[in-house]
Structure 1
């Protein structure tokens, strides 16, 4: 059953690919793609241009769910080769300046992770905890700390890595006394873990 659904999905993508390019996609095609993706699972998705490979991309994101990651990988393994396109089974690391916005109470609030520090705890099974220190000016947004930490760490390491290897992300104003001196600038997180 699933295999037929995946085939139908990729046939639809192939037949409509010219309407899905990041610069051309319309509200109508966003809705149509939403409907097609809904048929194969409870995924979110993203379309854009990947400068690293010079191709348009479609990401089918499991939204942090390990079981859905297995399914999204299966779906992407069935993808046809389409010239000028690359397909991802989870959000890849971002090509960004570590600055992002969140809509909080109908207001765009900007967060700049280049101002942050972090401490990394690595466990014997190659799983990590990340503790992030943010400025005290973030106090009005502390109920969003889980989301803020997740966006930044996922942006740097990619969604699949976070699902499989990040145990916990904590956002704090101050590190524990015994940990002071172990912190690094957040801009080094990707290098420390992935390089």
Structure 2
């Protein structure tokens, strides 16, 4: 076997846990350190080996590296803006063993404004050419809606400029604050606004103040759904299919929606081709079991409210409003893994402080 290993190359064991990953990294860390320190062939000799190992843990883990100081290499793991992958990166970094010469960081850290200058697609972003102002909505007082004003904005390069601003904010605010504190944002030029402009260096303090105010306003807010009222909704699609929804109407009327600002939607497809897009008895039972399974993990008094579900077009969507985005993401990933051989379960999680995703149910 040893002879064959030399000829074919010894196959490395698959990564099945965080500890498996760090054990693999430990075996290679001295070689990786030299590669980062030298700054040559980093992509080929380090990233091309690191990437597949991280993929075995979870899709969508990206990375940056460089020398933190003369004696320490830093590896920054980032979800590149994907909220659902933050928990994996935080857990992975939290389990990292102590390694002399290495610093492991979950998510891009915040930087002093004087240290942030971004060059992206021939545009430069810095404290001198960026300003902002908040948009206040009386009907949505907790919404953080920002307009970023960029001196060199051009409409034909709008998407590139917006991407550059997001990269700037990731580095200035830190990735976690950048992707979780801002609800809505648009980028415009100087000639598109008459508002009083605020220097971009004051954005960090503004967001911290708004978040502190928000937390204090809703601190301790809980909702027990045991005695809530539910309503069923039925409609037909354009092609004649059936849509059936069951919603918690007390929650839809709740005046503290913003206390649970994260909307979490689990989508479960099933074979409904012979039943007008609806599940048969066996599928119906399985769907209910999965929903109960999610509910056991995500309890209302812990900050996870089951708003209801909708069944149509051979799929069921289960709706939650949550105080936090980490646990729902982890619960969904575990569910996807458990049923990977039989169901193609998917999910999304995003910020929607006023549950506008369910406004059509309220109107009905």
**Fold match by TM threshold 0.5:** yes
**Alignment pair present for 1:112 and 2:121:** no
CA RMSD of aligned residues (A): 2.8
Instruction: Check whether the contact 1:98–1:113 (CA below 8 A) recurs between aligned residues.
Output: yes
Which whole-Å deviations, capped at 9, do the CAs of 1:121-165 have from their partners, x for residues lacking one?
58765x633321112464552231331121111111111112221
Q: Any stretches of 5+ residues in structure 1 without a counterpart?
A: 104-108
CA distance in 2, matches of 1:194, 1:23: 36
Which of residues 140, 145, 167 is equivalent to 2:183?
167
Indicate which of 72, 76, 100 corresponds to 1:59: 76
Aligned to 2:19: 7
State the distance in 2 between where 1:30 and 1:81 align.
21
Partner of 1:20, secondary structure, is: helix
Deviation by residue 1:53-73 (Cα, 9 ceiling, x = unmatched): x74211111111121001111
Q: Give the one of 45, 52, 57 matched to 1:28.
A: 45
Residues 181 and 207 in structure 2, CA contact (< 8 A), matched pair in contact too: no
Tell me which structure has the larger Cα radius of gyration.
2
TM-superposition CA deviations, 1:21-78 (whole Å, max 9, x none)? 3323632222101121121122111112336xx7421111111112100111111111
> Residue in 1 aligned with 2:248?
none
Q: 1:24 to 1:124 in 2, by over 3 A?
A: farther
- Which of 167, 170, 178 matches 1:154? 170
Structure showing greater relative contact order (alpha-carbon pairs closer than 8 Å, 6 or more residues apart): 1
Counterpart Cα distance in 2 of 1:98 and 1:141:
22
Distance 1:30 1:24, change over 3 A: farther
User: Which of residues 133, 136, 145 in structure 1 aligns to 2:161?
Assistant: 145
Give, in whole Å, the separation in 2 of the partners of 1:113 and 1:171: 14
Partner of 1:72: 89
Is 1:17 equivalent to 2:16 in the alignment?
A: no
**Mapping for residues 83-98 of structure 1, pairs under 5 Å:** 83-94=100-111, 97-98=115-116
Give the count of matched residue pairs: 183
Is 1:46 paired with 2:64? yes
What's 1:106 paired with?
A: none
| Contact 1:62–1:72 (8 Å) recurs in 2 | yes
Q: Name the structure 1 match of 2:204.
A: 190
Secondary structure of 1:118 counterpart: strand
Query: Equivalents in 2 of 1:73, 1:160: separation in Å?
Result: 11
- Asked if the contact 2:81/2:179 (under 8 Å) is kept, the reply is yes
Unaligned runs of 5+ in 2: 1-14, 210-364
